[in-house]
Structure 1
Amino acid sequence: MLDAPTAEATGSGLSEQEAASRLKADGPNELARTGRRTPFRIVLEVLREPMLALLLGGGVLYLLLGSPEEALILLAFALFSIVITVVQESRTERVLEALRDLTSPRALVIRGGERQRIAGREVVRGDLVVLAEGDRVPADARLIEASDFQTDESLLTGESVPVRKVASAASPPARPGGDDLPHVFSGSLVVRGSGIAEVTATGPHSEIGRIGQSLSALDSEPPRLQAQMRRLVKLCAIFGGVVSVLAVVLYGTLRGGWLDALLAGIAIGMSMLPEELPVVLTVFMAMGAWRISKARVLTRRAAAIETLGSATVLCTDKTGTLTQNRMTVAELCLPDGTAFRPRGDALPAGFALLAETGRLASAPQPFDPMEKAFHAVAEGLPSPALELVHTYGLRPGLLAMTNVWRSGTETIVAAKGAPEAIATLCHLDAAATAELTARTEALAAKGMRVLAVARAAPDGQAWPETQDGFAFGLLGLVGLADPLRPGVTEAVAECRTAGIRVIMITGDYPATAAAIARQAGLDAEIVVTGDALASMDDATLATKARETTVFARIMPEQKLRIVAALKADGEVVAMTGDGVNDAPSLKAAHIGIAMGGRGTDVAREASSLVLLDDDFGSIVAAVRLGRRIFDNLRKSMGFIIAIHIPIAGLALLPLIFGLPILLWPMHIAFLEMVIDPVCTLVFEAETEEEGIMQRPPRDPAAPLFSASLLGWSVLQGGVVLALTAGIYVVALDRGMPEAEVRSLTFFALVLSIVGLIFVNRSFSASIVTAFRRRNAALRWVMLAVTVMLGVTLALPFAQRMFRFGPLHADDLAVTVAAGLATILILEFLKPHWRKRLMT
């Protein structure tokens, strides 16, 4: 428990000695740093991968055998894998650093009776902080002096409307939100007035600090596909390890040459271990992030792409996400009930007077969003040269403010405020007050914040002590709204078509939230408030969350509970937000989506995706791309599984039947370094399947490698294995030299793999369509394969390294025929698998 500030923090403020003592005791006014994964630690984690161990082991054996070229190539491939992983994993969380920057602005404090500007991190408990319009509050504090003081706490509460603050000697519970409280909070913005506040909490003890601590305690959602692939790789590694050990023993016992036996065992282990999957996933996600960035969505964590297409729930904040977080005058209403909606046209006479008086009742140079709205609606109206000569600010007993203007001998008094306060100033009778209240409630039901405007024209030069002394006349009501972002309604509708449920979670009032939800096309029949949610246990909340679309008056920790309840119910949760208060839920969700324009650094750092243009519609584009990416990823993964079947078969069959060894580690590394990564680029560039946004989200529990996908992969691999093994056996039977048999079979395998690329380009389209589709990456693949195969035949160095012999025209024709046969056989079988692959 923190000690209360001492009496020394009065009048002249703390002394420098006391401030230094407290800074030493409490620490700087910033968040504590947490441990981060270093590149060295990441490298150690990568080195635990079984494939890298095999590559390194193979390189060492080649060195022992006196083959440095082969050793260097294998070691280079291992280094390549390490570099990719380290670069990807080094982009770790920077949430606390962003919070530290936000909570450490410059601060004007009173120390030793003098005002001095210090770094925000040096502010301590008990400091007297001088605050003025436009300042960022450096620490949690209690106002001891205040004049017409308002702060924007939307970063903490989600409410776009500033809250009034009053000075007080008492210390009620300090929570953001609510009018006429004495507490101000670190990170909030002073939008009106001035004051002096006594610091009550700094650093991790402040409200924003507690959010930072909750962030550091949260773990980001682990990538599902990565977990699935690691399990698959682990199973294959165990099985491949057992087979490899048996092969080494068999080879060494029957043929002698234990170093060659170890190389053969490593080759078998590499052939049976789909180690490309993690590397391919990294490359695929990086390309997907680049493609999504073209839709104005920045991907901060590639793992979000794999989940994006399977999102079932999108939790969105209202302020700044569905709405623009700027107040506009939506409706003007005269005392007789006549209403007018400004649309940029000229205002009728009565409404022009109402708008002009509202502007005169606002600050001449507005900072408050509502006052900016009053100036905007009155823009273009004729205004005489007036001088502001007196101001009456808000006070707890009368929520209205009045400005007195003079032009020569003419005096204009303009007031605006809560309708009940203006009714009091205008001395309305009970009937008129009831009528005004009814019209106010009607506007509020439309999601508007309602203010009343009044005007007076006194004759005297002296001003009354309070604004009650003027003879005001009611001019009408002004309804202010935070408008929807363009395209929100269409985006919500498309989310519904795609089977994604949209839930609004906001700190705003229920009536406003429900009205905005209806405008956006959401069902707002059921609205759950923060108070109601606080009384629910987790089981009740989980049940309620299934049927609720709007949550209002929600605090940050309650957002976390909602997200946790949805996740526990099996939903894949995407969460949008822009404020500090959104950061914990952004991090806890499967997919955190921050706004890049107004959004805070904290929200962006906590998120997986950032909408660069703050366009809610970009989420739909990202979902479409996410589904396309996932479809194409399945094609790529199925292809990888398929090619490992003939590779493993051709590595095992010679050992089983006592034939010459066909594939050594060099050959398998060649395939993995060239064919697999490049082919991944081909699949990533494929266009989307038909009806991609009419399908329901993918079942989050469904494995990437479904039974149908594995079956189709096994079938493809079996066809290629049968063709290439047949070529191998026939070539040996005809007495071809071992080196030529190896090159003939290897070339046939490579061209069959190229055939698999064309077969797997689409689950729904035919091979004819696949050939017609433009795919620049495919042309590069074909060129790379041609060049690499040409090099292995043309250069003696490459022939020796790969143990290849020369091939003649008829041999090359056989390899081309193998590739064409692969395409024809599998295209004939594809229609029987299409329906299963598309579900």
Structure 2
Amino acid sequence: MSDSSTFGEDRGARAVTPAGPQGLTEAAAAARLRQEGANDLPRAERRSVARVALDTVREPMFALLLSAGLIYLVIGDTGEALLLFVFATLSVTIAIAQEVRTERALDALRDLSSPRALVIRDGVRRRIPGREVVRGDLMVLAEGDRVPADAWLLSATALEADESLLTGESVPARKRARPPGGENVGGEDAAEEARVFSGTLVVGGEGLAQVTATGRHTALGRIGQALGEIEREPPRLRAQVRRLVRFFAVLGIGVSVLAALLHGLLNGDWLAAALGGIALAMAMLPEEFPLILTVFTVMGASRIARAGVLTRRAAAIEALGAATVLCTDKTGTLTQNRMMVAELRDAAGLLVHAARQEGGGPLLPAGAALARIAARASRAEGFDPMERALRELVAGLPGRGEPAGPDYPLRPDLLAMGRVWQEGEGNGSSVIAVKGAPEAVVGLCRLEAEEAAAVLAVAAGMAGRGLRVLGLAEARLAPGQALPAGLEAAPLAFRGLVGLVDPLRPSVPVAVAECRAAGIRVAMVTGDHPATAAAMARAAGLDSAPVVTGRELAAMPEEAFREAVRRAAVFARIPPELKLRIVEALKADGEVVGMTGDGVNDAPALKAAHIGIAMGGRGTDVAREAAAIVLLEDDFGSIVRTIRMGRRIFDNLRKAMGYVIAMHVPIAGLAFLPLAFGLPPIFGPLHIALLEMVVDPVCSIAFEAEPEEPDAMRRPPRAPDAPLISIAEFGWSALQGLAALAAAGTIYLLGLRAGLPEEVLRSRTFLTLLLASLGLILVNRVFGTSLRETVLRPNAALRWVLAAIGALLLVVFLLPPAAALFRLGPPGLSGMGGAVLAVLAMLALLEGVKLARAARRRRMAGAAARG
């Protein structure tokens, strides 16, 4: 803020003088807020609690649980019926709780990102949330304020607004008060200068404005509404999971009906046949798939948030592991988004000061003289990062003098500015310090053609190394000499050049190298000069050629455009509207695209990209709403860390899905075989509900917490259309399941042959299956390591899983009421020993197959490398 006494952060409400503006009354503002709604962007329609509950009860597993519970009620087994109803109710409660928690998190983010506004109501200045601003409010604007709504300026003093988020234009727009007589006085240009827009930033001066539009009716809101015309990519994994569940549901229901009919016809016990059929259907339906996908999405988003990235859409997490192209801007993402003086050169082009890193060498006299001119030509206060860097450079230097005014501001037709300083005591001489574009300063100094060409050649060389270059000049006036009307009339002498740089973030080169190793193409998309962009690309470790500019792209026919996008390493001078075409061209080539952006005009490209990445620090609400993920720190390293986590999440998701498929084979087998062959039933719906609603989800948490694979960022991205579970992986999971079925089935058949009581037979088989589930976790934890390394691999969540399953075993086997409810008898030491031996044999078999598969993959990789 520029003046804390007038426009600064208020200490509560402050009265305005009676002659001052009164603004709306609080009552009128409240009525208008109710009538027109909050000053918010349109938000996606949220699901009601009733809708969440309805969606949940329509799931097949819920229907099976209810059906089994009703049958148990009919036959008088109230305990099992009530427990099944509890499981069904629990599934609905969890779904509702998760939905409410998600909505609360999004509301908190929206409130956090909403700007605050200083308004005048009832003649008193009040600081209110931006969402409470209404049409007709009087807003007090000062340097550093984010404008919360569209408005007409009633008064303005040297007001400048950064409208790049709307227009893409980096030069601040100068604003003037609304001309007397209405909005049409003075023509379109005058009207544009008298308007301020929601989301823009006041970078200088102060003013008073009357709100004309809020929320969706602002220029920013209209762009947000237009985003609805862009279709997002549908989440591929969710669609794949839905197909898998549908396939298994059809298969399971068909098999269970067939088995139930067979059992009923052979044995005449249709009630037992119905219960057995429901148990078999529950065993074959992989209802855990959607649950696991939700768990991985929620917990993955939480992990990514701890890395400084907010995930707004699940599809982004799915796409991260498959990203093939990452389009990143430069300022603030690859760089630190602040300026540092890198070089000072005198009028002859000689280097008099160099500081390539923080705290560079001390200023020598020649460098100090140039630095003083640059600082004098800068405003005493302001948000411009270049001026801030120039002021910091001379902090503490003696002989700075005093500003004497007036200033010569930057003009659209003259890209240079000057300030007047007084030197000496009393009637000392005046000095006009000037800085600006080298071409403009050279022209003001009226250099000879040869000398001007030499200066501009030095400036071009500095720009080619990624520096932002300013020319420096000064005019010394004798005591009492009148100040010139404009810089063109000042007797300016050229003094030299200053080169500034936005320092590269230290983490960027390592992150870029990781992307290269992972097969991800990184392209820079920036509004900067081509030479500056190419220099920064080299410093970051990116390819610096070929470079293509926005003007070149706009002039190309579609085929040439797509070829240029396919080949370019650096996109320079790119206006925001071209970003969308770049994204669409890359997607048309089959790439999985990540795109960064922060402006309103970036929003269409962010929404169209598979992974839209908005800047949390300097981004607009519209950009954040359109993006799939938001960087809380605008750092390229955060993006790469997120991609690594995305690959980890997908790898662990495959492991969890493979485990679930493997576990369903023995569960379904032990439900089907007794039903089909007329043997004593082992598992009823209650046992299967316990396995599927306790063991499997808990185990999915263990898989989610698995560390990343060693080669996670050393292999190319997976194909975008690759199935979640390939045929080979499905076969491997089925083999694991058959091995577990063989272990549990052997215990069952041996106990049956020994004539064990049904409760003891069930307990031994149940114990074997639980231990087999732990063995399958170990087998699936990693793709290609030995069992010893798998056991020693750190995973805190796995310890909790082991403790939970151990507690479950103690409860169901040692607590008499629980054992009676589940119809389990004491397994005995021999039963426990047999279960352990059967599972160890299963592990030995599967580890042998796993090592053989790993050796085969190594041979194939070696043959491919030699070929």
Normalising by structure 2, report the TM-score. 0.85
Q: Which whole-Å deviations, capped at 9, do the CAs of 1:247-288 have from their partners, x for residues lacking one?
A: 333334443444433221111111111111111222233333
Distance 2:212 2:805 in 1: 69
- Give the Cα separation in 2 of the matches to 1:471 and 1:62: 101
The answer to whether the Cα contact below 8 Å between 2:743 and 2:839 also exists between their aligned partners in 1 is no
Counterparts in 2 of 1:423 and 1:775: CA distance versus 1, 3 Å: closer
TM-fit CA distance, 1:201: 6.8
Deviation at 1:706, TM superposition (A): 0.8
What is the aligned partner in structure 2 of residue 316 from structure 1? 328
In structure 2, the residue matched to 1:763 is: 783
Provide the residue aligned with 2:74 in structure 1.
64
Task: Return closer, same or farther for 1:422/1:532 CA change in 2, 3 Å cut-off.
Answer: closer
Q: 1:722 to 1:56 in 2, by over 3 A?
A: same
**Which amino acid letter does the alignment assign opposite residue 308 of structure 1?**
L
Task: Decide whether the 8 Å contact of 1:95 with 1:606 is kept in 2.
Answer: no
1:592 aligned residue: 612
In structure 2, which of residues 161, 173, 192 is the aligned counterpart of residue 151 of structure 1?
Answer: 161
- CA RMSD after TM alignment: 3.7
Distance 2:558 2:52 in 1: 37
Partner of 1:366: 382
> Which residue does 1:248 correspond to in 2?
260
State how far apart, in whole Å, the 1-side matches of 2:803 and 2:124 are. Answer: 72
How far did residue 826 of structure 1 move? 1.1
Judge which range, 335-344 or 135-144, deviates more. Answer: 135-144
Provide Cα deviations, 1:31-80, integer angstroms capped at 9, x if missing partner.
44553322322222222221222122222333333333323332333333
Q: Does 1:49 align with 2:59?
A: yes
Instruction: Please name the residue that 2:597 is paired with.
Output: 577
Give the equivalent residue in structure 2 for 1:8. none
- The verdict on how the C-alpha distance between 1:200 and 1:687 changes in structure 2, with shifts beyond 3 A counting, is closer
Indicate how the Cα distance of structure 1 residues 341 and 76 shifts in structure 2: closer, same or farther if over 3 A, else same: farther
Shift of 1:653: 0.9
**Stretch of structure 1 that moved more, 443-452 or 201-210:** 201-210
- Correspondent of 2:187 among 148, 160, 170: 170
- C-alpha displacement of 1:124: 5.5
Query: Which deviates the most, 222-231 or 32-41?
Result: 32-41
For structure 1, the residue ranges without an aligned partner over 5 or more in a row are 1-11, 176-180
User: How does 1:292-307 map onto structure 2 within 5 Å?
Assistant: 292-307=304-319
Superposed displacement of residue 669, structure 1: 1.3
Alpha-carbon distance change, 82 to 535 in structure 1, aligned in 2, over 3 angstroms: farther
Which of 448-457 and 603-612 deviates more? 603-612
Amino acid at match of 2:740: V
1:105-116 alignment, distance < 5 Å: 106=117
Question: Which of 477, 481, 486 pairs up with 1:458?
Answer: 477
Contact 1:763 1:837 survives alignment (8 Å): no
Q: Given that residues 93 and 605 in structure 1 are in contact (C-alpha distance below 8 angstroms), is that contact kept between their aligned partners in structure 2?
A: no
Relative to structure 1, the CA distance from residue 585 to residue 739 in structure 2 (aligned partners, 3 Å threshold; closer, same or farther) is same
> What residue in structure 2 maps to residue 490 of structure 1?
510
1:677 has 2:697 as partner: yes
Alignment of 1:111-510 (within 5 A): 132-139=142-149, 149-156=159-166, 162=172, 169-171=186-188, 184-193=196-205, 203-218=215-230, 220-339=232-351, 340-342=353-355, 343=357, 344-406=360-422, 407-408=424-425, 409-410=427-428, 411-461=430-480, 462-510=482-530
Shift of 1:814: 1.4
Do the aligned residues in 1 keep the contact of 2:377 with 2:419 (CA within 8 Å)? Answer: yes
> What residue identity is the alignment partner of 1:35?
E
Q: Distance in 1 between matches of 2:112 and 2:641?
A: 32
* Corresponding position of 2:586: 566
| Contact 1:312–1:499 under 8 Å retained in 2 | yes
Do the aligned partners of 1:110 and 1:130 also contact (CA within 8 Å) in 2?
no
Distance 1:63 1:349, change over 3 A: same
Q: 1:477 to 1:110 in 2, by over 3 A?
A: farther
Deviation larger for 144-153 or 633-642 = 144-153
**Which amino acid is 1:445 matched to?**
G
Structure 1 equivalent of residue 864 of structure 2: none
Count of aligned positions:
819
Equivalent AA in structure 2 for residue 523 of structure 1: D
User: Is the aligned partner of 1:609 residue 2:609?
Assistant: no
Determine the C-alpha separation between the residues in 2 that align with 1:227 and 1:151: 46
Counterparts in 2 of 1:659 and 1:222: CA distance versus 1, 3 Å: same
Deviation at residue 372 of structure 1 after TM alignment: 0.9
Q: What's the secondary structure of 1:672's corresponding residue?
A: helix
Distance 1:297 1:171 in 2: 42
Q: 2:681 matched to 1:653?
A: no
The one-letter amino acid paired with 2:90 is F
Deviations along 1:588-630, whole A, 9 cap, x unmatched?
A: 3322334444444544454443444433223323322332332
Cα deviations across residues 404-453 of structure 1 (Å, max 9, x unaligned)? 22242322321222333323432323333322332332233333332222
CA contact (8 A) 1:328 1:482 kept: yes
Within 5 Å, give how 1:522-537 maps onto structure 2: 522-535=542-555
TM-score (norm 1): 0.87
Q: Distance in 1 between matches of 2:80 and 2:560?
A: 63
Aligned to 1:178: none
> What SS is found at the alignment partner of 2:499?
strand
User: Which residue of structure 1 aligns with residue 815 of structure 2?
Assistant: 795
Residues 128 and 88 of structure 1: is their aligned pair in 2 closer, same or farther, counting only changes over 3 Å?
Answer: closer
CA distance in 2, matches of 1:379, 1:508: 29
Higher mean alpha-carbon deviation, 632-641 vs 34-43, is at 34-43
* Matched residue, 1:4: none
Counterpart of 1:7 in structure 2 is none
- Deviation, 1:787, is 2.8
- 1:40 match: secondary structure: helix
- Match for 2:847: what amino acid? E
Which residue of structure 2 aligns with residue 624 of structure 1? 644
Q: Is the 8 A contact 1:107 1:123 kept in 2?
A: no
What CA deviation, in whole Å up to 9, does each residue of 1:134-160 have, x standing for no partner?
343455578898765533234345666
How far apart, CA to CA, are the structure 1 residues paired with 2:434 and 2:597?
Answer: 36
Structure 2 SS opposite 1:413 = strand
Per-residue Cα deviation, 1:5-25 (whole angstroms, up to 9, x for no partner): xxxxxxx999999x9999999
- State the AA in 1 paired with 2:754: R
Identity %: 53
CA contact (8 A) 2:235 2:314 kept: no
Post-superposition CA distance 1:300-319 (Å, at most 9, x none): 44543333222111121222
Contact 1:30 1:104 (8 Å CA) reproduced: no
Q: Secondary structure, in 3 states, of the residue corresponding to 1:567?
A: helix
1:82 to 1:157, Cα distance in 2 relative to 1, 3 A: farther
- CA drift of 1:514 comes to 3.0
Structure-2 residue corresponding to 1:9 = none
**One-letter code aligned to 1:60:** L
1:398 positional shift: 3.1
Task: Report the Cα offset of residue 337 of structure 1.
Answer: 0.7
Find the residue that maps to 1:391 and give its secondary structure. Answer: coil
Could you say which residue in structure 2 is the equivalent of 1:77? Answer: 87
The alpha-carbon distance between structure 1 residues 26 and 284, as it changes in their structure 2 partners (threshold 3 A), is closer
CA distance 1:654–1:605, shift in 2 (3 Å): same
Alignment check: 8 A CA contact 1:321 1:578 kept? no
Q: CA 1:564–1:804 in structure 2 vs 1: closer, same or farther (change >3 Å)?
A: same
For 1:399 and 1:530, the matched residues in 2 are separated by 22
Partner Cα separation in structure 2 for residue 684 and residue 435 of structure 1: 62
User: 2:61, 2:287 within 8 Å by CA — same for their partners in 1?
Assistant: yes
Amino acid across the alignment from 1:316 = T
Paired residue for 1:731?
A: 751
Q: CA–CA distance in 2 between the matches of 1:354 and 1:654? A: 93
